[in-house]
Structure 1
């Protein structure tokens, strides 16, 4: 069932997310704020304010798969992103 790799495109939602959100809440963010629709080769990443919880939303044939990671110590190191340059 786990099938994430280099053949996927990954999108990171820049704002922090309430980790109580599930399939419907996160897919709503994808549709409304990220201007995206479900696509088999796309994975959407969401992180909480403290940066110690991460959810990945992945569309598979027949429905969404939701991956959830909670760090016991430390925080996730996020990639640098320059909004003006798109890098």
Structure 2
């Protein structure tokens, strides 16, 4: 998949239940991130224990969901990432 130059990534500051899948996460985008889930941007959700991350993306034909689970270590706090920002390369 290629990510266009105008695509931005938005991270949810709150921990999210990682049992949620595409539908559950897409319903969280508007109330928590104030964005349209069909915008084509990347929406990043981190689990409570920070060992899991899900990224939701609309590609004009449907949603795609990426899931990463670390075997060691943790992702940075979503609140910290949202405050300082991050690049697509870091993502």
Q: Which has the higher helix share?
A: 2
Q: Deviations over 1:31-85 (max 9, x none)?
A: 2222211112x10000001100000001101111000000000001242617xxx
Root-mean-square deviation (CA), in Å?
1.8
Q: Which has the higher strand share?
A: 1
Query: Could you tell me the TM-score, scaled by structure 1's length?
Result: 0.81
Q: Max radius of gyration: which structure?
A: 1
- In 1, Cα distance between equivalents of 2:27 and 2:8: 19
- The aligned counterpart of 1:49 is 48
Task: Figure out how many residues of one structure are paired with residues of the other and give that number.
Answer: 80
Q: More relative contact order in 1 or in 2 (CA 8 Å, sep 6+)?
A: 2
- The aligned counterpart of 2:39 is 39
- The aligned counterpart of 2:83 is 81
- In 1, Cα distance between equivalents of 2:58 and 2:42: 7
Q: Which runs of 4+ in 1 moved over 2 A?
A: 2-7, 77-80
For structure 1, which runs of at least 5 residues remain unmatched after alignment? 83-87
- In 1, Cα distance between equivalents of 2:29 and 2:82: 21
